[in-house]
Amino acid sequence: METRTKVTFFGTEAAIPEVGGETASFLINDQVMVDTGWNIVDNIRRQGIDPGNIRYLLFTHMHHDHYISLPSLLYYFLIANKDLADLKILGPEEDLQPILHHTLEFLFLNRKFYPARSYPTIIPLKPGDSYDDELFHLKTASSLHPVQALCYKYTDRGTGKSVTFTGDTAYHEPITELARGSSLLIHEATYGAAPANPLKNGGLHSSAMDAAEIAKAAEVEQLALIHGLRRNNEASVQAAAAIYSGPVMWPEKDQTVYL
């Protein structure tokens, strides 16, 4: 049995990534995918993993940069003769079902082309909900973002390690409770080392300092910053490290972290 929890970062950028880059998305224990980035199938295959073996896809929220390559994963399942019913898709209830319904029924998996195919299992969640699998426990909390968005705490039943990830959010104090004592906190830091500007993007993103305040208050073991411009990474890590005394990183593309 694996004695460590594995987190592989496929990308850490926001909106449109730089050439060769990827938006915030990562894979836990080779089976649980968090958001899709722009290139989910290629990202998973680059790790030597069959995308058809992904069992869970968790959405933090349904802004396009977080689900834009979903159709490519669904198509892979179909063409590789994998059973879509083996794929469970979890996300915020307000947007998950309408968007997946349109994607599956009309826009992509047109019934005319795939009339007899199974569908993924769709599990809508609201902030505060939990979900249990034999391998892990999930707990959710709210984010502060223009659409319904979830933060998740993933607890690995095998190792006892926990990963809390925020998706997109402004500084939001309730995340502290969710993240408390986590082995790793993955927090967005769109504004980098600049103070959060309430006029920019609706003000509903975080700075590296916001992320560090949550990490400090929640007494997590380490902090990873994501969802920002790559050229700001170093300044962001420094700004966070001035507030939070544990290890801080801005993961590289395809970097794996073991807990």
Query: Among residues 109 and 125, whose Cβ is nearest to Zn ion?
Result: 125
Nearest approach, Cβ of residue 158 and Zn ion (Å) = 30
Residue 86 CB: number of other CB atoms within 10 A?
14
Structure tokens at 99: 């968007």
Nearest approach, Cβ of residue 160 and Zn ion (Å) = 30
What are the φ/ψ torsions at residue 218 (nearest 5 degrees)?
-85, -5
**How far, in Å, CA of 121 to CA of 15, rounded?**
27
Q: Which residues pair with 188 in a beta bridge?
A: 226
Query: Among residues 15 and 242, whose Cβ is nearest to Zn ion?
Result: 15
Structure tokens at 45: 């295959």
Query: Among residues 63 and 187, whose Cβ is nearest to Zn ion?
Result: 63
Query: Among residues 22 and 168, whose Cβ is nearest to Zn ion?
Result: 168
Helix (H) or strand (E) holding 241: helix 233-241
Nearest approach, Cβ of residue 231 and Zn ion (Å) = 18
Nearest approach, Cβ of residue 82 and Zn ion (Å) = 28
Query: Among residues 70 and 109, whose Cβ is nearest to Zn ion?
Result: 70
Nearest approach, Cβ of residue 63 and Zn ion (Å) = 3
Q: What is the contact surface with Zn ion in residues (CB under 5 A)?
A: 63, 65, 168
CA 2 vs. chain centroid, Å, equals 22
**How far, in Å, CA of 223 to CA of 212, rounded?**
8
Q: Are 153 and 144 in contact (CB under 8 A)?
A: no
